[in-house]
């Protein structure tokens, strides 16, 4: 039996192909170079997510008190009424994202929709399928009507929705026709882009009821009304997935300081719905 000596070991290593010794390091470097950023697309307020066969259509009704904004945090611009926006830079045509798991049990899932009046939406947003849908920041609400969910007295529903994407083309990352969001040669690991459809000041709870009625007018065949909702500022979610910036859950009104006083603050929470209109 050959003895393993220090000299034999060094001789064996010297004779080994260099590529075999460097392969793990080269693979790690290659993977780092190929690392791509992620996009968190945040929706705040009154939205309907209609999940189609190969995309998601986002609608929101025209509400007088609402601000319609989109952009990087605190850099938002006004969304144009009647515009048809499309998210690009996050979908590889050769390998499109699969249909995501629809969190119906964690959202207000609406059934029985006969038709959708997309032309009555303030604007339309077309999204490729995300890698993940993350409902956040739940508030208490109760609903009535034939399409109302079975719920307890303490039922809560999300006021924020995050769509998570892997960026495949940073140079063309945009909500077209907005300009690309390229601001750095080396992109950050996580990009947060926000879309708002809500007031930027405190409103009475009746606002949420009326606004929800306006949204339901976009969908025929549905008997669903918001009866009651919380009238107080409520805490931010803290149990969040990795990479999600919890501070960016706040509403436009809160960001303007409307909830700084601990008592007497009133909010009209605008809730979002999801409609599975796929196969």
**Angstrom distance (rounded) from CA 252 to CA 247:** 12
Q: Is the CA virtual torsion 84, 87, 91, 96 positive or negative? A: negative
- Give me the residues paired with residue 198 across strands: 67
H or E, element range at 261: none
CA 184 to mean position of chain CA atoms: 23
Q: Which pLDDT value is given to residue 26?
A: 40
Of 8, 47, 16, 19, which Cα lies nearest the Cα of 198?
47
What's the whole-model pTM score? 0.84
Q: What is the pLDDT at residue 44?
A: 96
pLDDT at 279: 65
CB 47 within 8 A of CB 161: yes
> What are the φ/ψ torsions at residue 264 (nearest 5 degrees)?
85, -5
The residues pairing with 224 across neighbouring beta strands, listed in sequence order, are: none
pLDDT tens for the chain, residues 1 to 279 = 444 444 443 344 344 443 433 344 344 333 434 568 999 999 999 999 999 999 999 999 999 999 999 999 999 999 999 999 999 999 888 888 888 888 878 889 998 899 999 999 999 999 999 999 999 998 888 899 998 888 776 788 899 999 999 999 998 999 999 988 876 677 888 999 999 999 988 777 788 899 999 999 999 999 999 988 876 677 888 888 888 888 899 999 888 887 776 554 555 578 899 998 866
pLDDT at residue number 35? 65
Number of Cα atoms under 13 Å in the Cβ half of residue 102: 18
Residues 198 and 269: their CA atoms lie apart, in Å, by 9
């Amino acid at each position: 039996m050959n003895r393993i000596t220090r000299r034999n070991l060094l001789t064996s290593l010297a004779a080994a192909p260099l590529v075999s010794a460097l392969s793990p390091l080269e693979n790690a470097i290659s993977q780092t170079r190929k690392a791509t950023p992620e996009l968190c697309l945040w929706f705040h307020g009154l939205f309907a997510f209609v999940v189609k066969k190969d995309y998601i259509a986002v609608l929101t009704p025209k509400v007088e008190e609402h601000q319609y904004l989109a952009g990087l945090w605190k850099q938002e611009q006004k969304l144009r009424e009647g515009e048809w926006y499309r998210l690009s830079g996050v979908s590889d045509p050769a390998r499109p994202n699969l249909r995501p798991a629809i969190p119906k049990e964690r959202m207000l899932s609406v059934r029985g929709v006969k038709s959708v009046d997309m032309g009555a939406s303030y604007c339309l947003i077309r999204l490729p399928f995300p890698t993940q849908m993350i409902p956040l920041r739940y508030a208490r609400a109760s609903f009535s009507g034939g399409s109302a969910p079975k719920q307890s007295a303490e039922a809560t529903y999300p006021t924020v929705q995050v769509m998570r994407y892997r960026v495949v083309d940073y140079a063309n990352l945009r909500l077209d026709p907005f300009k690309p969001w390229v601001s750095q040669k080396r992109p950050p690991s996580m990009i947060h882009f926000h879309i708002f459809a809500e007031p930027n000041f405190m409103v009475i709870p009746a606002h949420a009821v009326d606004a929800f009625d306006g949204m339901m007018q976009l969908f025929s065949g549905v008997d669903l009304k918001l009866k009651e909702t919380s009238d107080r500022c409520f805490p931010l979610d803290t149990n969040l997935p990795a990479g999600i910036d919890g501070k960016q859950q706040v509403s436009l009104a809160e960001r303007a300081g409307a909830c700084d006083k601990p008592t007497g603050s009133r909010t009209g929470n605008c809730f979002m719905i999801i409609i599975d209109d796929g196969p």
